[in-house]
Amino acid sequence: MNREVDLGALRSRAHAFRKTILKIITRAGSGHPGGSLSVIDLLTALYFHQLRHDPRNPAWPDRDRVALSKGHACPAWYVVLAECGYFDPAHLWTMRRMGSILQGHPDMARTPGVEISTGSLGLGFSAAIGMALAGKRDGRPYRVYAVLGDGECQEGSVWEGAMFAAHYGLDNLTAIVDRNGIQQTGRTEERIRLDPLADKWRAFNWDVQEIDGHEMGAIISALDRAAAAAGRPHAIVARTIKGKGVSFLEGVAGYHGKALTEDELARALAELDRGPRG
Amino acid sequence: MAITLARTAATKPTRDAYGEAIVEVARDNPRVVALTGDLRDSNRLEAFAAEYPDRFFECGIAEQNMVGVAAGLATCGKIPFVSSFAAFSPGRCYDQIRVLVAQTGLNVKLVSTHGGLTVGEDGMSAQAVEELAMMRSLARMTVIVPADAVETAQVIRAVAEHVGPVYVRLGRVGVPVLFDDSYRFSIGKAPVLRDGSDVTLAACGIMVAEALEAARLLEAEGISARVLNVSTLKPLDVTAILAAARETGAIVTAEEHTIYGGLGGAVCEMVAAHHPVGVERVGVQDRFGESGPPRPLMEAYGLTAGEIAAAARRAVSRKRAP
């Protein structure tokens, strides 16, 4: 694909999204900031560069589909969906409240743009495989993207799905693994070792790319390449940093599932207002 | 509404009727697809796979992913029929069913064969005696246990037309063909197969034939038993169950399942809330199964016409007690 890509614009968007993500989680009083910040560059590139979709017509049969299998990172997804126009951004400030269209984990019945409800890990990936299978059998041109956490890859059903998608040659499917190295209670390699993670996907006969998941140019290239290569499903193992963008969140397991206090939020926003770091 | 019962001694496994019916249903509805976890023979899906190879998805021995794939297919307008053994689906994939099928309300049909003790020699790990309770506890889930092959064919057609999640439990072994072509199944209706005034025998699945036999035994003793075919466990037929409570004053439930949380549980919950009467539950008494031929297992676990009749006598005498 030779589309003109404005990497600076994508970076600016992702930077702004980081601030909104932290604000809405603090407003909600709970949520998952760490994994939302690690995945936001990937989601930004996906929605504002790659995806063929029409937020005004979310049921368009040929739309590309996204499943956020790491459903706990939904604050990042909600911010992106709102910016795309799937719903009024005012809803972001109601996240996790009773009656909100934005539940603590994605609920397809409530939120426009959410293709499948997730929360329990591994589930969205299998559902994405079903969408890709339907697309193949119906001869539809859409692509399907499943966004997984690395800790999520400890779920056995992920590998059931990996076998299945390779067996059926679902080259319209791309799994993006947010390899931030940290799960709820510590480093993935200290809980249950995942490495060599990319080799695992290769061994399951997937087309695998390893990239820096915060480098917009690399993300764009990987998405483009995955969309062009035929015959096998695609995995993009994206090395990321949990809590990316805020010094005191980066690489800290403690912010997997904890909102920032008002004071912490002020410090984080001050850092982010100084612009993207390094 | 009189139900004509078949007069033959023929038997047929309900899973055989599934295999035939889904081919018919798929002919009329191109959205119907079928999935199995390496059980196309046992699930009786070989004819479907041969006739509709593009609509048949072998999922391998991986039930969790199978249910997730089915949910994804359903989001794209397919009507997936997902089959395995009742021990494995829902046993191996309950969370996928809970989150991706029940909570979403997606149009997925879970049709499991080899339910209950009559799986036989494979023993307790293969004998699902608790999965109806698991499925009944899920909001939005319809739960159906057909009594014979004729009803099964109609159930498969009905659930394909019904929009929403359904669990259907079928069996491995031949069961008596109770109904003829005049039988009409409809979701949520528990037809009276035989009327009576002293006690109601509410049964599902293979226990319906036993309940009919029990009613004959009781008639010889002067006890008039009504027999209900409660093939839809959820939504339970409120009208039929409460009419039974009011008009006969005593109920016996009979199921090839633990007495907790299945048909017996459902009937107790309903009559306790709306019209309390004595309920005797015939079923598996808080135990697991074991290896053996189907009929001796049913006798050893008390799943017989004789046990139902004995329970009916207890229920009737409770009614008369001060």
Q: What is the CATH number of the domain that holds B95?
A: 3.40.50.970
Statement to judge: residues B113 and B216 lie in one domain: no
Interface contact flag, A134 B72, Cβ < 8 Å:
yes
| Mean pLDDT on A70-95 | 98
Statement to judge: residues B131 and B93 lie in one domain: yes
Identify the pLDDT of residue B4.
82
Statement to judge: residues B224 and B172 lie in one domain: no
Please name the amino acid found at residue B14. Answer: T
Residue A23: Cβ within 10 Å count: 18
The boundaries of the domain holding residue A35 are 7-273
Q: How far is residue A248's CA from residue A246's CA, in Å, rounded to a whole number?
A: 6
Interface contact flag, B76 A117, Cβ < 8 Å:
no
A17 is a domain residue = yes
Q: How far is residue B246's CA from residue B241's CA, in Å, rounded to a whole number?
A: 9
Omega before A58 cis (within 30°)? no
Picking from A126, A135, A156, the nearest residue to B68 by CB comes out as: A126
Residues B226 and B192 sit within 8 Å (Cβ to Cβ): yes
Contacts of A90 (CB under 8 A, 6+ apart): none
B187 is a domain residue = no
Picking from A108, A163, A167, the nearest residue to B104 by CB comes out as: A108
Q: Which helix (H) or strand (E) holds A262?
A: helix A262-273
User: Looking at chain A, which residue has its C-alpha nearest residue B62?
Assistant: A160
Interface contact flag, B72 A160, Cβ < 8 Å:
no
CA atoms within 13 A on the CB side of A157: 25
Q: How many domains does chain B have?
A: 2
Interface contact flag, A134 B73, Cβ < 8 Å:
yes
User: Is A175 in CB contact (< 8 Å) with chain B?
Assistant: no
Tell me the pairing of strands A65-68 and B232-234. Answer: unpaired
Contacts of B100 in chain A (CB under 8 A): 116-117, 123, 126-127
Statement to judge: residues B99 and B237 lie in one domain: no
Identify the pLDDT of residue A2.
44
Residues of chain B that touch chain A, judged by Cβ-Cβ distance less than 8 Å: 54-55, 57, 59-60, 62, 64-65, 67-78, 80, 95-96, 99-100, 103-105
B268 is a domain residue = yes
Residue A119: Cβ within 10 Å count: 20
In the set B24, B58, B63, B299, the catalytic residue is B63
Residue B86: Cβ within 10 Å count: 30
A2 is a domain residue = no
User: Looking at chain A, which residue has its C-alpha nearest residue B77?
Assistant: A134
B6 is a domain residue = no
CA neighbor of A84 nearest in space, from A39, A107, A114, A116? A114
Contacts of B60 in chain A (CB under 8 A): 160, 163-164, 167
B130 is a domain residue = yes
The boundaries of the domain holding residue B144 are 11-176
Mean pLDDT, chain A, whole residue set: 96
Q: How far is CA B292 from CA B14, B67, B88, B147, B300, in A?
A: 20, 31, 20, 22, 10
Statement to judge: residues B232 and B310 lie in one domain: yes
Q: b/e map of B212-238 (b: 16 or more CB within 10 Å)?
A: bbbbebbeeeebebbbbbbbbbbebbe
Statement to judge: residues B74 and B199 lie in one domain: no
User: Is A120 in CB contact (< 8 Å) with chain B?
Assistant: yes
Statement to judge: residues B205 and B111 lie in one domain: no
Q: How many domains does chain A have?
A: 1
Task: Give B225's strand partners.
Answer: B199
Residue that terminates a domain, selected from B176, B203, B223: B176
User: Is A9 in CB contact (< 8 Å) with chain B?
Assistant: no
A278 is a domain residue = no
Interface contact flag, B100 A131, Cβ < 8 Å:
no
If pLDDT is split at 50, 70 and 90, which confidence band does A277 have? low
Total count of residues recorded for chain B: 322
pLDDT tens sequence across A229-259: 899 999 999 999 999 999 999 999 888 899 9
Tell me the pairing of strands B225-229 and B192-194. Answer: antiparallel
B128 is a domain residue = yes
Instruction: Give this complex's ipTM.
Output: 0.97
Interface contact flag, B70 A135, Cβ < 8 Å:
no
Statement to judge: residues B42 and B125 lie in one domain: yes
Residue that terminates a domain, selected from B145, B176, B207: B176
Identify the pLDDT of residue A243.
97
Picking from A118, A124, A160, the nearest residue to B62 by CB comes out as: A160
pLDDT along chain B (322 residues), means of 10: 78 98 98 98 98 98 98 98 98 98 98 98 97 98 98 98 98 96 96 98 98 98 98 98 98 98 98 97 98 98 98 93 68
Identify the pLDDT of residue A3.
60
Statement to judge: residues B143 and B200 lie in one domain: no
Interface contact flag, B64 A156, Cβ < 8 Å:
yes
Total count of residues recorded for chain A: 278
Supply the DSSP string of A7-19, one letter for each residue. Answer: HHHHHHHHHHHHH
B4 is a domain residue = no
CATH at A102: 3.40.50.970
Q: How far is residue A12's CA from residue A9's CA, in Å, rounded to a whole number?
A: 5
Interface contact flag, A133 B96, Cβ < 8 Å:
no
User: Is A128 in CB contact (< 8 Å) with chain B?
Assistant: yes
Picking from A107, A129, A156, the nearest residue to B72 by CB comes out as: A129
CA neighbor of A158 nearest in space, from A35, A67, A263, A91? A67
For residue A244, the distance in angstroms to the closest alpha carbon of chain B comes to 30
If pLDDT is split at 50, 70 and 90, which confidence band does A1 have? very low
Interface contact flag, A129 B96, Cβ < 8 Å:
no
B309 is a domain residue = yes
Contacts of B50 (CB under 8 A, 6+ apart): none
User: Is A126 in CB contact (< 8 Å) with chain B?
Assistant: yes
Q: Judge whether B221 counts as a catalytic residue.
A: no
Residue that terminates a domain, selected from B132, B148, B176: B176
